[in-house]
Chains A and B, each alone.
Chain A
Amino acid sequence: MNWLLLFEQTLNGFQLGTLLFLLAAGLTLIFGIMDLVNLAHGSLFMMGAFFCASLADWTGSFLFGALLAVPAAIALGIVVELVALRTLYDRNHLDQVLATFGLILFFNEAVRIVWGSAGRAIPLPALLKTHVQILGIPYPTYRIMTISIGLLVALGLYVLIARTRLGMLIRAGATNREMVGALGVDIRLLYTLVFGLGAGLAGLAGLLTATVQTAEIGMGEHILIPSFVVIVIGGIGSIRGSFVAAIIVGLIDTLGRSYIPDLLKLFFSELVASTAAPALSSMMIYLIMAIVLVLRPQGLFPAHAG
């Protein structure tokens, strides 16, 4: 057993987990508070990436690009909320799935018209292109940065939700929607704010992803389904749940990819192992979700409990 490799893979899993958390946090809040299934969350993720690419070009600096892209994503989220999604809150989940699926199609083609289908690279500053030595492993600075940002956001969200009035309303909204209305709060404003917050986080995740994988059409869909898996495992509406679940999903996916082939080789022939391994590691996270739902139909940390 190569312990250093295991350690490095664990770090990689952790990094994927923090990225998933950025997406899942917004998704779970929108879901928990507005009861809105937002498939277009992945589109906001993609838009964050493209905004950053263009703004970084324009300002000539990745940092400024990123700093401007997040507010841009928030603004876009608010516009989407006001124009398209507001009418969907009191609809059933099916209607929401369909309408936001329509949004995905729209955004994908719109990006293609505006930015072309080739996608855009986001040049990282030289500082982030390096790697640092951790226990003798050269580990990319960028990935360290992603992990740090993810943890910072998690901490920030914790403070926001546990310590502020807005957070109190968000918590109240996730457990009992009517109560918030009864408190005399403008519920529509709260919804718009939460949606903007979710959009900003999605945009942030998008631009972080794009620096390593280029901004491209359809990038949102690839990560959308794992994000849904995360919030369902974590329990819808629970930030804490989605953080734990994101790390679990990130670790399982990464470790699965690295160790399942070897694991299978212990039990089966080389041929069987090499055939089954890619399929099995691809379906690991779904398997985990199915198991969690069978054992705990409301996810690990159900927000509506009690």
Chain B
Amino acid sequence: MRIGFKEGFIVALLAALAVLPPLAVWSDEVFYIDLFSRVLIHAIAAVSLNFILGYGGMVSFGHAAYLGIGGYVVGICTFHALEDGIGWLASGWLQFPLAMLISALVALAIGAICLRTRGVYFIMITLAFGQMLYFSAVGLEVYGADDGLTLYTTSDFSGLVNLGDDVTLYYVSYVALLVALWLSWRLIGSRFGRAIAGARSNERRMQAIGFPTYSYKLTAFVIAGGLCGFAGALMANHDTFVSPSMMHWIKSGDLIIMVVLGGMGTLFGPVVGAVAFLFLEELLSSITEHWQVIFGPLLIVVVIFARGGIDGLLGALGGARGVVLPFFGGRSARQDHRSGPEGGLARHFSADGSAGAPTAAAGSQGPLPGLASAAGDGPARPALTAALRIDNVVKSFGGLLATDHLTLEIASGEIHAVIGPNGAGKTTLIAQITGELRPDRGRIHFRGRDITALSTPRRSHLGLARSFQITNLFLEFSALDNVALAIQAHSGHSFRFWREARGDPALHLPARRALGQVGLGARTDVLASNLAHGEQRQLEIAMALATGPGMLLLDEPMAGMGPEESARMVQTLRALKGRLTILLIEHDMDAVFALADRITVLEYGSAIATGTPEEIRGNEEVRQAYLGDAVSTA
């Protein structure tokens, strides 16, 4: 990480926060210790929210609920310790872990339900759960209902740490914040963190390459809930008071504002945001009673003009490249390639030695990474058996039959093309093979196993890989990161929270190799969004290959390509011929006839002919119904 203006600012901010208490005591302004303890505790909560919102893309509008739960655990324990004389309940050694545990459990329950929804429905359902918890707290008659509960002592840490002392509480919060930051830095860099970030970027693709995203997101949700519960426990000790207003939806909104204001998806953004938000509130309200008239439009201005939040502004101020936590160095490369990727395309291609002779390059670099494992499975599947068998499959959308009693066998090792006019049901077929759609009737077998009821990630793990008709990548990741994620998906589970995945050679090396083989060896660090269209299609193939598939489903890999790019793709695919089973859906008839061992023609959801290219070419019915027309336009 380069030390720039922004890093300087953050170091200065942390340093200033570290020396604040002695300065405050010296200048006899101890109020600031109190104010900034509050800031620090909010920063911890914001860091926890940022983990799911900024990195995981889950806009939880009920995050303050965990703040309240953490607070109430401390409040209720302290209450019973005093009222009923149960001394051990006052122990902070009990209260803080309990606060985190209960918050995490509640997050588990809420997340398990909410994560079934997407987008704005997710925002609203988390809000709903937040409000339900809020009203539950209002109903806690014994604990003061909506008046809240005053704590007459702070948590007792065997007399070692006295949270009742302002300075002690300040430093405990400060250290806790540093620990929270460090934790989230480790988490983000781990395989688990990358799985979360991938799910934010492109969840559909994540599932296609074999990540059960739901479990990863739920785990992240629970971690964030637990951490926020810790902040809540600290807040209860700071305020010596808990009330339902800690969990009101406005409070959740405040937390979101802090994260976005600071810069979401950046490590220190939430801290900067919390400082800025609470400081601004303090400052503006001291200028005018009508401070919201200023704060409201300010918020709009920040949203419209400062998209990266303060973090982004600082980056711009420093005039430096973005320093937002590069994964594999992809983000820092953004500026380098930002200008005119389209214009630079041709030049790049001609400069890339492998572009001219992809087949030779592939041959000389040895087996593809995916093929090694595919070959390992080899003995289990005798040649000439069907790799994929589609058995009398039916799928209808409101009366319209998209797949009409289709039966199809794809032999091991062949390139089998499926062609047909638009609306013939090709993409629906692919979706049923990958598991994104379930057939209404019929079975699908892969390598002799019935996969009809399996999830997309499970099928991916069995060796079914796909590319998408419309380019479907992790656009804000580098090319290398895209492929590395695919490899990660197939090297065991990603519930690995600690080990650094950034620069992990186990992911890195095979990813580079795969990129080299599709001719992207020199483009590893370029963001996927900055790749030319043809390069993105090649990257799609690289990702599919990297998962070590037994079978490749290619949905119009040449769509939108120029002749030069298409030729290049044909080369790449030809190099795979015989080593992989490939189901190819393509409109480019030249490519189809050049590559395919067998061709199936689909019309209105059913197969009207299957055979070798020659047979299909000679089939009068196909010719008249479809091919003649298509060939002439292709």
> CB atoms of A and B under 8 A apart anywhere in the complex?
yes
Report the minimum CB–CB distance from B313 to chain A (whole Å): 16
- Residues of A contacting B119 in the complex (Cβ-Cβ under 8 angstroms): 93
* A297 at the B interface (CB under 8 A): yes
Out of A108, A236, A286, A293, which one reaches B132, CB within 8 Å? A286
Report the minimum CB–CB distance from A194 to chain B (whole Å): 18
Report the minimum CB–CB distance from B57 to chain A (whole Å): 9
* B159 at the A interface (CB under 8 A): no
List B26-60 residues whose CB lies under 8 Å from chain A. 53, 59
User: B102-142 toward A: CB 8 Å interface, digit per residue (1/0)?
Assistant: 00000000000100111111011101110110011011010
Is the pair A289, B293 in contact by a Cβ cutoff of 8 Å?
Answer: no
Out of B120, B293, B298, B397, which one reaches A109, CB within 8 Å? B293
Is the pair B397, A88 in contact by a Cβ cutoff of 8 Å?
Answer: no
Is the pair B139, A276 in contact by a Cβ cutoff of 8 Å?
Answer: yes
- Residues of A contacting B298 in the complex (Cβ-Cβ under 8 angstroms): 102
Out of B117, B299, B304, which one reaches A87, CB within 8 Å? B304
Is the pair B290, A279 in contact by a Cβ cutoff of 8 Å?
Answer: no
Query: Given contacts A105-B295, A229-B128, are A279 and B260 in contact (CB under 8 A)?
Result: no
Residue of B nearest to A233 (CB): B124
Report the minimum CB–CB distance from A195 to chain B (whole Å): 16
- Complex Cα distance, B129 from A229, in Å, reads 12
- Complex Cα distance, B306 from A91, in Å, reads 13
Out of A84, A95, A279, A293, which one reaches B135, CB within 8 Å? A279
Out of A91, A104, A279, which one reaches B139, CB within 8 Å? A279
Query: Given contacts A94-B256, A94-B260, A283-B131, are A102 and B303 in contact (CB under 8 A)?
Result: yes
> Interface residues of A, CB < 8 Å — how many?
46
* A266 at the B interface (CB under 8 A): no
Is the pair B138, A282 in contact by a Cβ cutoff of 8 Å?
Answer: yes
* A82 at the B interface (CB under 8 A): no
* A298 at the B interface (CB under 8 A): yes
Is the pair A98, B304 in contact by a Cβ cutoff of 8 Å?
Answer: no
List A167-209 residues whose CB lies under 8 Å from chain B. none
List A74-131 residues whose CB lies under 8 Å from chain B. 84, 87-88, 91, 93-95, 97-99, 101-110, 112-113
Residue of B nearest to A271 (CB): B141
Out of A97, A109, A280, A290, which one reaches B129, CB within 8 Å? A290
Out of B136, B253, B292, which one reaches A279, CB within 8 Å? B136
* B376 at the A interface (CB under 8 A): no
Is the pair A95, B128 in contact by a Cβ cutoff of 8 Å?
Answer: no
Query: Given contacts A98-B299, A109-B292, A275-B141, are A93 and B123 in contact (CB under 8 A)?
Result: yes
Report the minimum CB–CB distance from A219 to chain B (whole Å): 16
- Complex Cα distance, B297 from A10, in Å, reads 42
Query: Given contacts A278-B139, A279-B138, are A286 and B117 in contact (CB under 8 A)?
Result: no
Is the pair A298, B135 in contact by a Cβ cutoff of 8 Å?
Answer: no
- Complex Cα distance, B132 from A97, in Å, reads 21
* A155 at the B interface (CB under 8 A): no
Query: Given contacts A37-B120, A290-B125, are A99 and B293 in contact (CB under 8 A)?
Result: no
List B269-322 residues whose CB lies under 8 Å from chain A. 290-293, 295-300, 302-304, 307
Closest A-B pairs by Cβ, 5 of them: A279-B139, A102-B299, A106-B296, A105-B296, A286-B128
**Interface positions of B (Cβ within 8 A of A):** 53, 59, 61, 113, 116-121, 123-125, 127-129, 131-132, 135-136, 138-139, 141, 249, 253, 256-257, 260, 264, 290-293, 295-300, 302-304, 307, 397-398
18 new A-B pairs (CB below 8 Å) besides A229-B124, A232-B120? A84-B300, A93-B59, A93-B119, A94-B53, A94-B260, A95-B307, A97-B256, A99-B303, A104-B296, A105-B292, A106-B293, A110-B293, A286-B129, A287-B128, A290-B132, A293-B117, A297-B116, A299-B121
* 29 interchain pairs, CB-CB under 8 A: A37-B123, A93-B123, A94-B53, A94-B256, A94-B260, A97-B59, A97-B253, A98-B302, A99-B303, A102-B295, A102-B296, A102-B298, A102-B299, A103-B300, A106-B296, A106-B297, A107-B296, A109-B293, A110-B293, A113-B293, A225-B131, A225-B249, A232-B120, A276-B139, A293-B121, A293-B125, A294-B116, A297-B121, A298-B121
